[in-house]
């Protein structure tokens, strides 16, 4: 599973939805979304969540277990967990980006085994970012630095590995979703080769969504979309050559991607819309999300600057923080969302953009057909690793910034 990126004006998205003709779906109720069909493409307009009323989804007050902390065995000391996956017996596996390993735990949180280590040999990792459970709880793990997918048996034994297909040339691949059957949905970000942009110019390089299928040398192209907003903040000549410091502007917009076994969801945080594609690249649905425009005020900017100044490690980082928040242009409104995830039932989870100072993160749950099912608030710095039918495996950082892993029940309204 994965997260954060960017945006454009909302007017364009609303115009697209409003301009699609066709009769409303007879299954739509007055309280539900407005559903139309346009040339075989399903158009779903969900009403803003705050107008729906009624009870919200929530997490159980107490976790089924809590792993991590400053004390305890080494296997529950975590450092930059990259991903997680739930298993058929109720257990789970964590992918340690910082620890270069896979760790399996039982349903009650007991550690069962650890596999992998740092390196570039068979069964070793240099940039472990994704893990998923395949048939029989065989594990698939993706290493972005080595651009390869490795397979492991349920007992932690290394089986084999293969390179991610079609990743040659100038660009950078990032696996957004690793599916149980071995397909990898990834983004390929290309960079302009026609010279460096002027310092301070905000730009969006191209992001192409691709699907790599085991055994095939060429990936399927789903489409090309705007990448994250970036800019060169400083550049200078040194004895070794040009020194560049790149970054992102405040409240940067970007495109986000997530997939299920039969659909790929793509959305640009610039608009309150996600699009569902088939694995052949055909557009299947356009879904308006139940999120409203949220203006940016001066307090948000002040809190954003204060947070970066507090986390800065030296004076250069503090100068860059001031440059970012005091000199770069600030948009009028927040991006509509900043992450997409999927759950075990095929639902899409959309995380509304979290402004500096927000104490909670709001996730909106969208059914496979595009209908808004409900919203769930989670604490700040609490991020899902895997979402099952009725539970969420999540990583969070405590007040000392120490990583924990919890499993909590998801409580839906009656």
The confidence band for 48, taking pLDDT boundaries of 50, 70 and 90, is confident
Q: Across 164-219, where does the E strand assignment appear?
A: 172-178, 184-189, 203-212
Half-sphere exposure for 351 (CA within 13 Å, toward CB): 27
| CA separation for the pair 2, 305 (Å, rounded) | 26
Q: How far is CA 226 from CA 9, 92, 268, 354, 369, in A?
A: 13, 35, 8, 21, 25
Length of the chain: 414
Average pLDDT of the residues in 7-22: 35
Q: Does the structure show a pLDDT above 80 at 259? A: yes
Given a cut of 90, whether residue 29 has pLDDT beyond it is no
The pairs formed by 196-200 with CB atoms below 8 angstroms and a separation of 24 or more are 196/232, 196/235, 196/244, 197/231, 197/232, 198/232, 199/231, 199/232, 199/233, 199/234, 199/235, 200/231, 200/232, 200/233, 200/327, 200/328
- pLDDT recorded at residue 234: 74
Q: Does the pLDDT at position 23 exceed 90?
A: no
pLDDT at 25: 41
pLDDT band at 212 (very low <50, low <70, confident <90, very high): very high
Residue, of 400 and 142, whose pLDDT is higher:
142
Q: Are strands 41-45 and 283-288 parallel, antiparallel or unpaired?
A: parallel
Least confident of 32-36, 203-207, 223-227, 239-243: 239-243
Q: Is the pLDDT at 12 greater than 70, yes or no?
A: no
Whether 241 shows a pLDDT value over 50: the answer reads: yes
Q: Which pTM does this prediction carry?
A: 0.89
pLDDT of residue 55: 62
**Which residue is it, tokens 């996956």?**
85
What is the predicted pLDDT for the residue at 72?
A: 83
As a whole number, the mean pLDDT across the chain is 89
Q: Where are the domains positioned within the chain?
A: 297-330
The residues, any chain, with a CB within 8 Å of residue 234's CB and separated by 6 or more, are 199, 243, 244, 245, 320
- 25-31 contacts: CB < 8 A, separation 24 or more? none
Name, in order, each residue with C-beta under 8 angstroms of 315's C-beta and a sequence gap of 6 or more.
none
- Of residues 243 and 30, which shows the higher confidence score? 243
- pLDDT tens-digit map of 281-312: 999 999 999 999 999 999 999 999 999 999 99
The 8-class DSSP code of residue 57 comes to B
Selection from 73, 71, 13, 77 nearest residue 45 by Cα: 13
- Displacement of CA 158 from its chain's centroid (Å): 27
Residue 247: what pLDDT?
87
- pLDDT tens readout for residues 324-335: 999 999 999 999
d(CA 293, CA 287) in angstroms, rounded, equals 16
Q: CA 120 to CA 20: how far, in whole Å?
A: 51
- Mean pLDDT across 367-374: 95
Percentages (nearest 5) of helix, strand, coil residues in the chain: 10, 45, 45
pLDDT at 366 over 70: yes
């Amino acid at each position: 599973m994965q997260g954060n990126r960017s945006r454009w004006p909302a007017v364009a998205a609303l115009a697209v939805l409003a301009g699609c003709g066709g009769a409303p779906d007879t299954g739509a109720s007055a309280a539900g979304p407005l559903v139309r069909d346009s040339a075989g493409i399903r158009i779903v307009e969900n009403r803003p969540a705050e107008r729906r009323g009624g009870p919200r989804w929530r997490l159980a007050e107490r976790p089924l277990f809590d792993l991590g902390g400053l004390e305890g065995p080494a296997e529950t000391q975590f450092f930059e967990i990259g991903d997680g996956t739930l298993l058929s017996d109720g257990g789970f596996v964590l992918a340690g980006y910082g620890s270069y390993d896979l760790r399996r735990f039982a349903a009650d949180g007991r550690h069962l085994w650890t596999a992998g280590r740092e390196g570039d040999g068979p069964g070793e990792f240099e940039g472990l970012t994704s893990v998923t459970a395949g048939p029989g709880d065989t594990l698939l793990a993706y290493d972005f630095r080595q651009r390869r997918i490795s397979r492991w048996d349920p007992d932690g034994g290394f089986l084999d590995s293969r390179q991610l297909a079609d990743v040659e040339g100038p660009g950078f691949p990032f696996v957004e979703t690793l599916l149980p059957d071995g397909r990898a949905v990834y983004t390929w970000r290309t960079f302009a080769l026609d010279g460096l942009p002027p310092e301070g110019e905000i730009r969006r390089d191209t992001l192409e969504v691709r699907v790599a299928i085991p055994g095939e040398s060429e990936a399927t192209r789903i489409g090309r979309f705007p990448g994250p907003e970036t800019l060169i903040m400083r550049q200078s000549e040194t004895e070794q050559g040009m020194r560049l410091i790149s970054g992102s502007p405040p409240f940067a917009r970007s495109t986000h991607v997530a997939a299920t076994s039969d659909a790929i969801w793509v959305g640009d945080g610039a608009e309150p819309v996600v699009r569902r594609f088939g694995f052949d690249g055909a557009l299947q649905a356009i879904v308006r999300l139940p999120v409203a425009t949220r203006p940016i005020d001066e307090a948000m900017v002040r809190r954003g600057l204060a947070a970066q100044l507090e986390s800065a490690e030296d004076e250069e980082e503090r100068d860059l923080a001031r440059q970012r928040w005091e000199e770069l242009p600030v948009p009028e409104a927040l991006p509509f969302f900043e992450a997409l995830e999927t759950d075990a039932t095929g639902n899409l989870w959309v995380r509304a953009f979290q402004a500096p100072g927000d104490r909670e993160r709001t996730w909106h749950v969208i059914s496979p057909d595009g209908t808004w099912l409900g919203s769930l608030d989670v604490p700040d710095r609490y991020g899902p690793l895997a979402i099952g039918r009725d539970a969420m495996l999540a990583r969070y950082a405590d007040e000392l910034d120490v990583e924990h892993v919890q499993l909590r029940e998801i409580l839906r309204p009656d």
